[in-house]
Amino acid sequence: MEQKVKLGISSCLLGHKVRYDGGHKLDRYLANTLGEYAEFVPVCPEVECGFPIPRESLRLVGNPESPRLVTTRTGQDFTDRMANWASRRVVELEGEGLCGYIFKSGSPSSGMQGVKIYGASGVPSNRGVGMFAMAFMKHFPMLPTEQESRLYDPRLRENFIERVFAYQRWRQLLEKRKSRGNLVDFHTRHKLQILSHSPKHHQAMGRLVARAAEQTLSELYEQYQGLFMKALSLVATVKKNASVLMHMMGYFKKQLTSDEKQELLEIIERYRKEYVPLVVPITLMKHYVRKYDQPYLKVQHYLNPHPAELTLRNHV
What is the binding site for ligand SF4 (CB under 6 A)?
10-12, 18-19, 44-46, 104, 107, 109-110
Q: Between 20 and 167, whose beta carbon lies closer to ligand SF4? A: 20
Q: Between 23 and 119, whose beta carbon lies closer to ligand SF4? A: 23
Q: Are strands 115-118 and 124-128 parallel, antiparallel or unpaired?
A: antiparallel
CB of 20 to ligand SF4, least distance (A): 7
- Which backbone phi and psi does 41 adopt, to 5 degrees? -115, 95
Q: Between 79 and 243, whose beta carbon lies closer to ligand SF4? A: 79
CB of 201 to ligand SF4, least distance (A): 33
Q: Between 11 and 241, whose beta carbon lies closer to ligand SF4? A: 11
Q: Between 45 and 67, whose beta carbon lies closer to ligand SF4? A: 45
Compute the distance between CA of residue 104 and CA of residue 112 in angstroms, rounded to an integer. 8
Q: Are strands 58-61 and 115-118 parallel, antiparallel or unpaired?
A: parallel
**Do 112 and 102 meet the contact criterion of CB atoms below 8 Å apart?**
no
CB of 169 to ligand SF4, least distance (A): 28
CB of 155 to ligand SF4, least distance (A): 24
What do you get for the CA distance between the two ends of the chain, in Å?
A: 26
CB of 157 to ligand SF4, least distance (A): 19
Question: What is each CA distance from 173 to 136, 176, 299, in whole angstroms?
Answer: 23, 5, 16
Compute the distance between CA of residue 91 and CA of residue 89 in angstroms, rounded to an integer. 5
Cα diameter, the chain = 75
